[in-house]
Amino acid sequence: MKWSNVNSNDSEVVKQSLVVSKSCGASQQTSDITVQVGPAGTIKATKDSSTAIQNLASYMTNAASCGTTILLSKAGDSVAALYAGADVYQSDVGPYLLNFKKQFKAGSQIIQSCDSSSKRDNTIGVYIVNSLDDLEGIDRALQTWSKGSCLDSDGHDLIQSKTTMLGVSEVSKRSDISSSLEGFLAPRAEDNFDKYNTGTDLCKNLKVKQRVCCSAGSLPDIIPKKQSDGTCGTYTIQTNDNCAEIAAHFGVTQDDIYDLNEDTWGWAGCGTNDLKADQVICLSEGNTPMPSPLSNAVCGPQMPDEFCTESPARTKAPGAFQSGKNGCISNCGTYIVNNDDAPENFYHVAYFEVFNLKRECLNMDVNEISDTSLTHVHFAFAGLTADFDVSFDNDEYKAQFEKFVKNDASYKRILSFGGWAESTSASTFQRYRDAVKSGNREKFAKNIKAFFEKYDGLDGIDFDWEYPGATDIPGVPAGSDSDDDNYLGFLKLMKSTIGDKSLSIALPASYWYLKTFPIAKMSDYVSYFIYMTYDLHGQWDYNNAYADVGCPSGDCLRSHVNKTETINSLAMITKAGVPASKIFVGVSSYGRSFGMVDPTCTGPMCKYGGAFDVSTAEAGSCTNTSGYISNAELNLIMQGVDSGASNYKGRTWYDEDSASDVMIYGTKGEITTWVAYMSDDTKEARIDWIKGLNFGGVTDWAIDLQELNLGVDPDSDEAQDLDLPALPTGCSSANWPDNLEDLRNKIDKIDLGCRAQAVVWVLIKILPDILDNYQSAADNYDEYFKYYAEWVRNGIDDSLPLFMWSDGQNYMDCKWSSTSDGSGDAACTEMHVPEGQPGQGEVSITYTVRDEDGFYKALQADYGIEKDWIVWKDIYADPENSLTCPPCPNLTKDCKPCTGHGVTYHNWPVKAADDDIDVPNLKDIIDTAVPNITTLQDVILGSFIEMRIGAMDASDEDVATALSMPVFMIADTTEQMKNITKIGKEQEKADDEAKVSFILDIVSIVLMIIPFAGEAVDAIGGVANVARAAYVVGEAGNAALSVYDIVKNPSSAPFAILGLVMGADASVVGKASKTTFTKAAAFRNALTEDTLSSFSKEFRANDAIVQDIVKACKRA
C-alpha cells in the first residue's frame, strides 16, 4: 500500500494502514529463556521511564514478526532502547516487556535475555536512561547486542521466562545448528539422517562437535575413562571452547562437567570467560588431575616438577625418592584436611583498633564493645620497648587498655603485639627480630609475666609479627633464615611462662610469607592461630604477575575475601599439619578498593589504576586511606545514594563467584571506585560455612569498622592526648540525662555553652527505642488495614446524606410531587416540599446532577469520596417506621405497612459495592519510612561527633533545632501507632467513636511520616489520597486534617528540614556545611503558633523544651 493513497484525515483508515502482518512465513515455537535483570535502584524509576517502556511494548505488539528491531522510545527526559534479534518473534516482545513492569518500576536499568555462545540472534535487551546526557550508555548497549555479545551481568538477578522464537530456513551466521541440518543435511541424505539418528528432537538440540551416525549401527562409547593411576579422564581446554560443545563431543552433559570438577584446580565454571586455555578438567570419575604447569610459577601445584609429583627411588622402598625430587604425596589435591572432628567450642574473635581514636570520625571507645556473640576481643596494638618491655603509643591508648582489662565483659580479653606498622617501621622492626633470639627471649617472657601480674584481668596475649624471614617488604632489610626457629623457641618459652593464659599468633594466608613459619611445630604451643584470610588482594598486586590468576599484569579487580582463594589457603595450612580446630579463619569488616580504569567494567578481568604503592580509589571520609575503607563508610555512601544525595552514585551486588559483596561508587558526581567486602549477611554465611568445616573459630578485623559509635568523650581525663583541633571545654557528658524530661529538670547543672549538645545527646539516646517501637507496632498493620478499609467504606453511607443536605444540592436540579402540596421542578436549593412532617402524604423527588464536575469535586474536597465510590438508586424513607416499612430486608411479620407519609428519592447517591471501592493500603508508606529513619540516626550521630570534636561548622543551637523536629515527629507517630494497635486488637468490640478514632489515627501517622517516605507516597496517589479517609469519617478541623495542612505542601518545614539534614549537604558524617543546619533551623523557627497548634500536644511539649534551651543558649 502506498501512503499517498491513504486519507490521513480519516483516523480509522490510518489506524488500519498501520496494522502489519502477524506472520512472515516462519515457524514459531515457545522457548524457555533466562532473563538477566539489573540491580534495582540503578536509575530513578519515574513516570517518564515507565511511559517509555509502555510505548515500546505497545509498538512491538503490532510489529512485524521477523527481522531485527532496534527501537528508541523517549518520554520526557527518559529514553528506553530496545534490541530484539532476528530470531525473536517480534510481536511477542510487547507482552514480554510488560512481564517486567515491577522490575522497571524498581529502577532496573538493564533487562536482557542474552547468550553470547548461541548461534542464533535471539537476544532481547532493554536499556533505560533518565537523561539525554546518558545516551552513550544506550549506544554501547545496542552495539554490544547487535554484535552477538551480552552486557556485563555482574550483580544481576536471573528470572525464568518464556517467549516465542522463529524457525530459520537457511544457514546464517547465527543460525541454530539444528535448523542448518533440517534445511541442508536431511534432503541430501534423503532422510537417512533421521533413519540412523532416531533421538527425540535431535536436530533441534545438536551442538557443534556432537557425534552422529551416518550409517546403520550405534555410536561407540566415547565417554572418557579413569586413568590407570586413578586420575580422572582429562581434557585440556582449547581457545574458544565452551562446555556445551565439550559435553556434546564426549557424550556427557554440562551438569556432569560441573559435578566432576568441583575440586579441580582453578575450576571457575562454564560461564563466559570462565574456561581458560590449557586448563585441565575432568570428564570422568577419578582423582583430580595436576594443573598445567606455568613456567614462571615459583610455588604451588603449577610450579614445574613440584607440589605432589610421585618420584620413588628405583628400590621402591618407603620414604626413598629420586635424587632432586620430593615425595609430598600427602599434599596432593586441594582438599582441606585435618578437620574430621568438630572442636569442643567454636570461638568468635574480633580485633579492636585502639588507634581508631586518631581518626577524624568513626571513633569507638573500648567500653562501647557490646556484641554478645564475641568470645575473645584482641586489643590492637601494644608495642615493644628497646629493652623488650610492653609499651603503648600514648597515655590515651594505655587508658583505653586499662578500661579494657577492668570492664565486666563476657569475652576473653587479649592484648595483641605488633601489627603491620610496628613490624615494618624503621624504628621498631628490629625489636621483634631481636626479642625472640635466645639471648633476649627470657627477658621478654619475664616482662610479659610481670605485665600479667599487674593486669590480672588480662586473659592472654597475641603476637602479630609481620613477617619473620620475609625478604621483600619495602624499606625493611631481608629477614634471617633463623627467624623461624627463633620464633618457635620463643613461643615454647612463652607458653611455659604464662601457663593457662591464652597464647596466639597471627599467620598470613599467603604461601610466600607463610612458608617460613614452622606452623606444625608451633601448633603444639599456641592456643590458636589467627589466620588472616583477608587482604588476599590489594593495591600491592599491581604489576605482580603472580598475584592474580589469569591476570599477568596483576591489576585486575579481585576480591580480598574471595572464597575460592580462602579454600586454597585453608587447604595449604591444614596440609602443613595444623589441626583445623586450632585455626581461627579471618573475616572482615572493611573492603579493599581500587580506582577503576573503566567505570562500566566491573568483572574480574577489568583493570584498576595507580601503582604498587599508589591507589586511585576514593578514600573514605573517616579512614581517609585510598584502597581501604570500612563497612560503616560503605553503608553511609549507599545511604547517600539511596536518599538521592547530590553527586552520590553507586550500587551494590553479591558476587557469586567470589562469595563476597561488591560496590561501585563515587561521591563527586561519577562512579570511580570498585570495592569488595563482606556485608553482615555475607559474613554470617561465611562464618556458618567455616563452622561447618570444623575450624576452631573466626577472627574479624575489626569491630570498630562496623558502624558509627560515639567514641571517647573528648573532655574526659583519658582523652587529653588526642591530637585534635579546637576541643570544646567544659562539656563533659558524664552526667547528662538521656531523656528530655530529666534534661529540662537538670538543665541548670549544665553549662549554657553545652546545653545544645546535651539536647542532641538525648536525641541519640531516645531514637533507637522510638525506631524499635515503630517497627514493632508496624508488624501487624496488614491485619489492621483490613479493618481500616472496612470502616472507611462504612463511613461513606454516613457522609453522603450530610453532603446531599448541604452543598450537594448546589449542583443539582429537582423535580418533585406531593399529595398534599402539589408538584414542581427547580434547582434543588429552591425546592419547597414537605419532608419528614406528619400528614405530609406521599412525596416523590427526582434528582438530576446539573453540574457534574462541580458536584464530584465538592464531594471529594469536603468528604474525600471518589466518583467511583457511589452509585445512584431510588430509596424510600418513612418518617415513622422507616426500618420496617417496605421495602423490607425480608418479608416477615415484622414488616409493617407504610404510613402513606413517606418520601421516595429517585436517583439518590449511595455507597457502591465494597469491591468497587479501592481504599489505599498505607502500609507501604509506613515500611518505606524505616530506612530513612535509620539514616537519620546516622546523621544525628555523625553530627554529634562533629560537635564534640569541634569540627561542626554550624552553631550547636541550630543543629539541635534542626534535628529535633524530625525526631519528635517520629516519636509522635509511634505513640499513635500504639493506640491503633490497641483498637486493632479489640476491633470486634470497637464502637463507632473508636472506629473513627482508629481511622483518623492511621491517617495522622501516615501523614506525619510522609516526609520520610519519599516516592512511596506517589504510588498511592499522593498526599491528598492519604488524607481522604479523614474527610470520609471525620469533621472539618479534626487532628488528621490539621496534619494534612502541614504536609500537603512539599516545601513545608518537615520536608525542608529532612531534605537538608539528610540530603546533599549532610548525607555523610564529616561533610555537613554550616548553611545546612542554619537553613534547617530557620524553617523550624519560622513556624507560627497557629501552625504549631496542628501538631500533637506531645510534639509541642517536646519542642517547647528544646526551644527554651536553645534560646537561652543564644541569649547567653
User: Which residues are known binding-site members?
Assistant: 467, 701
Residue 334: name the closest of 531, 558, 546, 574 by CA. 574
CA distance 754 to 762: 13
Q: 3-class SS at 321?
A: strand
Q: Which residues are annotated as a binding site for chitin?
A: 467, 701
**The one-letter amino acid at 830:** E
Q: In whole angstroms, give the CA distance from residue 452 to residue 594.
A: 42
Q: Which of 466, 565, 633, 718 is catalytic?
A: 466
Give the dihedral sign, CA 532/538/544/547.
positive
In angstroms, the CA 980 to CA 782 distance is 12
Q: Are 325 and 312 in contact (CB under 8 A)?
A: no
A 10 A CB-CB count for 1041 gives: 21
Q: How far is CA 185 from CA 168, 191, 251, 783, in A?
A: 14, 9, 22, 65
Q: Is the dihedral of CA 819, 823, 826, 830 positive or negative?
A: negative
Measured torsion, CA atoms of residues 976, 980, 986, 988, in degrees rounded to the nearest 10: 140
**How far apart are the C-alpha atoms of 49 and 107, rounded to whole Å?**
9
Query: HSE (CB half, 13 Å, CA atoms) of 331?
Result: 19
Nearest partner of 420 among 497, 366, 476, judged by Cα: 476
What Å distances lie between residue 247 and 102, 117, 210, 243, CA to CA? Answer: 37, 14, 8, 6
- First-to-last C-alpha distance (Å) of the chain: 87
Strands 843-849 and 870-877: unpaired
Q: Which residue, chain included where needed, has cell 549538645?
A: 757
Strands 502-508, 412-418: pairing kind: unpaired
Q: Check if the beta carbon of residue 969 is closer than 8 Å to that of residue 1054.
A: yes
Give 827-836's long-range contacts (Cβ < 8 A, gap of 24+): 835/903, 836/877, 836/879, 836/903
The SS3 of residue 1065 is: coil
Whether 466 is catalytic is yes
- Among 127, 130, 155, 54, smallest CA distance to 95 is for 54
Pairing mode of beta strands 347-353, 649-655: unpaired
HSE toward the beta carbon, residue 1013, CA cutoff 13 A: 23
Q: Where are the beta strands (DSSP E) in 753-842?
A: 812-818, 822-827
Rg (CA), the chain: 38
Scanning 407-543, the segments in alpha helix (DSSP H) are 419-424, 429-435, 441-454, 483-498, 511-514, 519-522
Length of the chain as a residue count? 1116
Q: Is residue 963 a contact partner of residue 1112, using CB atoms and an 8 Å limit?
A: no
Q: Which residues of 606-627 are buried (b: 16+ CB within 10 A; e: fewer)?
A: bbbbbeeeebbbbbbbbbeebb
Where do runs of H (alpha helix) occur along 300-418?
Answer: 395-406
Look at residues 976, 941, 946, 955 and name the one whose alpha carbon lies nearest to residue 1077: 955
Residue 739: left if φ>0, alpha if ψ -120 to 50, beta else—which one? beta
**CA distance linking residue 495 with residue 493, whole number of Å:** 6
For 602, phi then psi, to 5°, come to: -120, 0
d(CA 750, CA 23): 83
Kindly report the number of other CB atoms within 10 A of residue 596's CB atom: 22
The residues annotated with a catalytic role in the active site are: 466
